[in-house]
Structure 1
Amino acid sequence: MSKPVWKTIRLIAAILVTLIMVFPVYWMFITSLKTSNELRLAIPTFWPDKFMWGNYIEAFNAAPFGRYAINTVVQTVGILFLQINLGIMAAYAFAKGNFPGRDKLFLLVLAALIVPDQVTFVPVYVMMSGVGWIDSFYALIVPHAVSAYTIFLLRQTFKSINNDVIEAGKVDGANRFQVLYRILTPMALPTIATMGILSFISSWNSYFWPLIMTNSNDMRVLTVGIAMMRDSVAGDEALNFHLIMAASVMIILPIVLIFIFAQKHIITAMSNSTFK
């Protein structure tokens, strides 16, 4: 097979894969702009007869999404702050520290990567209930304060940095925290930015954990709010599907924008994440 033909086949395959992946997002967006009557047509339309931008306002007012948004931001920022800072300190210890059992402890961190949240949520729920944190931000944030994946990637990045840089900082009078946050952290910025983005996406999209850990409407987050939208609007999902899609578009918009502007950091971090 000639090279031009092979390139054409690869281009066509790439276009098809892109269309398959983008179509659900496109369908969600156009559905959010349709009327409920248009959604009930026997033959679905691929373009709205009339753009109903008011669906977004109606969706926002259908439930206390303002409160849900505040709760989601607090949860996301809290988890992001703790995961990045604790991950930086733990990764520095595993990469540059010299203490007994260092490598064995790191293997335990790697082992945590294969344990899903559904396995540990029962004992964690019992712990949160025991300290009276159910239906609070503590229950939403503290169990996710440490990310094994963040520690792993940052450790790989810190190990790739020459020790002479650290020694030079110590000669200039820098203590451990100054070396870590003023010297190593800027050098590992692509990885830190990547982990921040992944942490943001995971926390922003979290559904199972907030659903289990919160009881009152004042502590609900956006993902749980959308799931409850059928009951809060009219109780008929078919009639409210355009509002559900409008709310979904508003929720994923921050994630899409962050990913578009920060994708180069993700590529850089993943290319430097080989096990060393």
Structure 2
Amino acid sequence: MNNSVLKTTRIVIALGVTAVMFFPVYWMLVTAFKTPAELRLAVPSFWPEKLMWVNFLNVFNAMPFMRFTINTVVQTIGILVLQINIGILAAYAFAKGSFPGRDRLFLLVLGALIVPEQVVFVPVYVMLSKIGWLNTYYALIIPHAASAHGIFLLRQTFKSINNDVLEAAKIDGASRMQLLYKVLTPMAYPTIATLVVICFIHSWNSYFWPLVMTNSDKMRVLTVGIASMKASNAGNESLTLHLLMAASIEIILPIVIVFIFAQKHIVAAMANSTFK
């Protein structure tokens, strides 16, 4: 009897926590399908009178949504390609290389994990301004070309791979780059998939850096574009709240899809990321 009560209590608590966490998402979904008139009701409704699918199309007329999407895609792909390749090269050097000061340099890389971007953005902003990169893709991508977290995870994965595998490949005539990209990289696929997901989510959701580095609709990304739309309607949020929620749903859909397909790789990579 006690076990039954305990099990029931756990289920109730789990359902309660799930409901609390999911409610903001539910409210966003519901709001996206409402009309401005419904949003102005004194007593908010928990389900729209009519599902206004047209709201998701009206987003494209309310702001340069396609331009913002293109900028976000370019930024995300650029950062993703650079971070993964630079991470693989650096991790290989720290895990399998032998050179003076290797471990001390790796500690410096780990130190970068505790430095938030808000601390370094002023000198980076000044530097990019002097070379004329502000309001360009270079400013959105290059400062995030390397990830200390990614280097750390890949280094731990590469260290767990037996050196005998590399020696056998060398005997077969494999070059250093072939060892890296044809032997080590395929064996580190779960970790790389995890880094792809983490980098994708971080870059796609990036707000602070694009806000600082861009100042026109031509270069704005989705997060900054939506925030600008909200700011332009301050005091009359009910006129555009349904469009803002619809745009937010369209933004998070790619993240949800990527995470669903890659979640098993994330678990596998985290299991192998202990410090060695």
CA contact 1:67–1:218 (8 Å) conserved in 2:
yes
Distance 1:235 1:2, change over 3 A: closer
- CA deviations 1:82-119 (Å, max 9, x no partner) are 00000011011111111111111111111100100100
Gap runs ≥5 in structure 2: none
Query: Separation in 2 of the partners of 1:171 and 1:17?
Result: 56
Q: TM-score, normalised by structure 2?
A: 0.96
Query: Separation in 2 of the partners of 1:56 and 1:234?
Result: 21
State the one-letter code of the partner of 1:230: K
Partner of 2:76: 76
CA contact 1:33–1:55 (8 Å) conserved in 2:
yes
Partner of 1:196: 196
State the one-letter code of the partner of 1:23: F
- CA deviations 1:57-80 (Å, max 9, x no partner) are 111211111111000000000000
CA contact 1:62–1:232 (8 Å) conserved in 2:
no
Partner of 1:50: 50
Q: CA deviation at 1:230?
A: 3.5
Partner of 1:99: 99
Partner of 2:236: 236
- CA deviations 1:4-25 (Å, max 9, x no partner) are 4333333222222222221111
Task: Tell me the SS of whatever aligns to 1:181.
Answer: helix
Q: Show the 5 A alignment for 1:1-276.
A: 2-230=2-230, 236-276=236-276
Q: CA deviation at 1:149?
A: 0.3
Task: Tell me the SS of whatever aligns to 1:218.
Answer: coil
- CA deviations 1:150-174 (Å, max 9, x no partner) are 0001111111100001111111111
Distance 1:2 1:275, change over 3 A: farther
- CA deviations 1:252-272 (Å, max 9, x no partner) are 010011111111111111111
Query: Separation in 1 of the partners of 2:267 and 2:12?
Result: 24
Query: Separation in 2 of the partners of 1:170 and 1:8?
Result: 59
Q: CA deviation at 1:192?
A: 0.3
Query: Separation in 1 of the partners of 2:140 and 2:68?
Result: 13
- 4+ long deviations beyond 4 Å: 231-235
Q: TM-score, normalised by structure 1?
A: 0.96
State the one-letter code of the partner of 1:86: I
Pairs aligned (count): 276
Query: Separation in 2 of the partners of 1:80 and 1:253?
Result: 18
CA contact 1:230–1:236 (8 Å) conserved in 2:
no
Query: Separation in 1 of the partners of 2:182 and 2:215?
Result: 42
Query: Separation in 1 of the partners of 2:61 and 2:269?
Result: 40
State the one-letter code of the partner of 2:22: V
CA contact 1:76–1:204 (8 Å) conserved in 2:
yes
Provide the identity percentage.
Answer: 69
State the one-letter code of the partner of 1:117: E
The alignment yields a C-alpha RMSD, in angstroms, of: 1.5
State the one-letter code of the partner of 1:42: A
CA contact 1:63–1:233 (8 Å) conserved in 2:
no
- CA deviations 1:121-168 (Å, max 9, x no partner) are 001101111111000000000000000000001111111100001111
Q: CA deviation at 1:218?
A: 0.5
Gap runs ≥5 in structure 1: none
Q: CA deviation at 1:234?
A: 9.1
Task: Tell me the SS of whatever aligns to 1:34.
Answer: coil
State the one-letter code of the partner of 1:34: K
- CA deviations 1:176-214 (Å, max 9, x no partner) are 110010011111000000000000000000011001101
Range moving further from structure 2, 128-137 or 6-15: 6-15
Query: Separation in 2 of the partners of 1:205 and 1:50?
Result: 30
